Amino acid sequence: MSVQQAGQIITYNFSSGSQVLVSTYTTPCNSPSGMVIVPEGSSNIMAVACYDTDSVLTLNVAANGTLSMLGSVAVPGVPYPGIAADGTNVFIPTFPKSGVNIGPSNGGVIKVDVSNPAAPVVAATVALASPLPGADADATALAVSGGYIYVASGSETQPWDNTSSVQVVNESTMQLVGLPLVVPHSPQQIAVSGGVAYMTMYDAAGLESVNVSNPASLSMMGAIYPTMPSACSGLALALRGTTAYMGCYATETVDRINVSAPALMTETNYISSLGSPQSMAFSGSYLFVVSSAVGGSVYMVYVGPTN
Q: Which residues partner with 68 through β-bridges?
A: 60
pTM of the shown model = 0.95
Listed in sequence order, the residues at least 6 apart from 158 whose beta carbon sits closer than 8 Å to its beta carbon are none
Give the neighbor-by-neighbor strand order of the sheet with 187-193.
187-193, 196-201, 206-211, 219-224
pLDDT in tens, 275-285: 899 999 999 89
* pLDDT on residue 158: 84
* pLDDT on residue 134: 84
Cβ neighbours of 291 (radius 10 Å): 21
Give the neighbor-by-neighbor strand order of the sheet with 8-13.
2-3, 8-13, 20-26
Cβ neighbours of 90 (radius 10 Å): 26
| Domains 1-97+108-118 and 128-307 in one fold | no
Helix (H, G, I), strand (E, B) or coil at 263: helix
Residues of the chain with pLDDT below 50 are none
Q: Does domain 1-97+108-118 bear CATH number 2.40.128.630?
A: yes
Select from 2.60.320.10, 3.40.50.2300, 3.40.50.300, 2.130.10.10 the CATH code of 128-307. Answer: 2.130.10.10
Q: Classify residue 158 by burial, with Cβ atoms within 10 Å: 0-12, 13-18, 19+.
A: exposed
CA 23 distance to own-chain centroid:
24
Terminal-to-terminal C-alpha distance of the chain: 24
* pLDDT on residue 33: 87
Listed in sequence order, the residues at least 6 apart from 245 whose beta carbon sits closer than 8 Å to its beta carbon are 236, 237, 238, 239, 254, 255, 256, 257, 280, 287
pLDDT in tens, 174-199: 999 999 999 988 899 999 999 999 99
Domain parsing of the chain, residue ranges:
1-97+108-118, 128-307
Round the average pLDDT of the chain to a whole number and report it: 92
